[in-house]
């Protein structure tokens, strides 16, 4: 069972989504005695903030299954890319690209302006009986001009795709750059040496490793410790011990050490 803040036992945790990594994370948090069920999130609508999407996923799940005392959890993340607008620079939400040409064009566009970070914003929502919690967090990733030039080339894009596949094969997932929002995969950008800083902490500065770990968890899972209280008394402990996240960090460190 899952012990919530009122100490009332809950048999089910209903995940409003279908992402397998997020499902594994909820199973990790809820524990062996909980029954975690993935209900899907319906047809995702475009929204300017991921919290709007996460809330809508829960509304969809509540219509499918469960009662008023069950726990519903949803996550969502959006990728924001700097683009030029009529009124100057703006950040545009980017979904998954259609093909390699769109990915290459994005790197080229980012390279041909003053390098600015792209952003990932992730949101979490929980409804557990009368308890409702929401939270969202941002992370900002700066890519080097040299890295962007290389990624915009045919050779660079091919190497980038090969690294993504290598990470995917390690975890029984075949992946392609077009599987990710805007075609940007943070762990591959790190492994190929294209990341210059995260949240204004440069790669050679103290504290970069912590920022990297936080950013990778945000990009991969997107769960906030601020909403997990009804499921566990030690949310941060569950985040830092999530096996999937730890394994990917270990693999990434091997790639970074080899570059």
For residue 43, the model assigns a pLDDT of 63
Bridge partners of 123, per DSSP, are 76, 136
For residue 247, the model assigns a pLDDT of 92
The answer to the question of residue 230 being in a domain is yes
- Cα→Cα distances 105→9, 147, 148, 173, Å: 52, 14, 11, 26
List the domain range (segments joined by +) for residue 27: 8-253
Q: What is the count of structural domains for the chain?
A: 1
For residue 84, the model assigns a pLDDT of 65
The answer to the question of residue 259 being in a domain is no
Residue 254 CA to residue 259 CA, distance in Å, equals 9
The answer to the question of residue 2 being in a domain is no
Residue 108 CA to residue 151 CA, distance in Å, equals 8
3-state secondary structure of 79: strand
Taking alpha carbons only, the member of 108, 243, 113 closest to residue 183 is 108
In tens digits, the chain (259 residues) has pLDDT values of 444 444 445 458 999 998 999 999 999 999 888 889 999 877 666 678 999 999 999 998 888 876 767 899 999 999 999 876 666 678 889 989 999 999 999 999 888 666 689 999 999 999 998 899 999 999 999 999 999 999 999 999 999 999 999 888 877 787 899 999 999 999 999 999 999 999 999 999 999 999 999 999 999 999 999 999 999 999 999 999 999 999 999 989 888 865 5
The answer to the question of residue 258 being in a domain is no
The answer to the question of residue 180 being in a domain is yes
Q: Confirm if 133 and 229 have CB atoms less than 8 A apart.
A: yes
The answer to the question of residue 1 being in a domain is no
- Cα→Cα distances 245→81, 109, 221, 250, 259, Å: 25, 31, 9, 9, 21
Q: Can you give the pTM of this predicted structure?
A: 0.88
The answer to the question of residue 121 being in a domain is yes
Residue 50 CA to residue 112 CA, distance in Å, equals 28
Tell me the CATH number at 98.
Answer: 3.90.950.10
The answer to the question of residue 233 being in a domain is yes
């Amino acid at each position: 069972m899952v012990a919530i803040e009122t100490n009332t036992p809950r048999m089910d945790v209903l995940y409003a989504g279908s992402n397998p990594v997020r499902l594994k994370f909820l199973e990790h948090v809820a524990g062996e005695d909980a029954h975690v069920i993935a209900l899907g999130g319906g047809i995702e609508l475009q929204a300017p903030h991921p919290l709007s999407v996460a809330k809508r996923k829960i509304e969809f799940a509540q219509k499918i299954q469960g009662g008023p005392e069950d726990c519903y959890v949803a996550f969502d993340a959006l990728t924001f890319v700097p683009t030029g607008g009529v009124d100057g620079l703006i950040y545009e939400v980017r979904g998954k690209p259609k093909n390699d040409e769109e990915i290459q064009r994005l790197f080229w566009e980012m390279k041909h302006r003053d390098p600015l970070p792209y952003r990932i914003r992730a949101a979490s929502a929980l409804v557990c009986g009368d308890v409702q919690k929401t939270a969202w967090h941002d992370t900002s990733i700066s890519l080097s001009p040299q890295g962007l030039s290389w990624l915009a080339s045919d050779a660079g894009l091919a190497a980038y795709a090969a690294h993504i596949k290598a990470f995917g094969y390690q975890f029984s997932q075949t992946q392609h750059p077009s599987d990710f929002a805007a075609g940007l995969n943070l762990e591959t950008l790190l492994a190929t040496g294209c990341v210059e800083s995260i949240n204004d902490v440069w790669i050679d500065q103290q504290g970069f490793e912590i920022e990297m770990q936080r950013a990778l968890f945000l990009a991969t899972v997107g769960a906030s410790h601020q909403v997990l209280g009804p499921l566990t008394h030690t949310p941060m402990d569950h985040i830092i011990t999530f096996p999937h996240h730890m394994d990917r960090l270990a693999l990434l460190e091997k790639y970074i050490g080899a570059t």
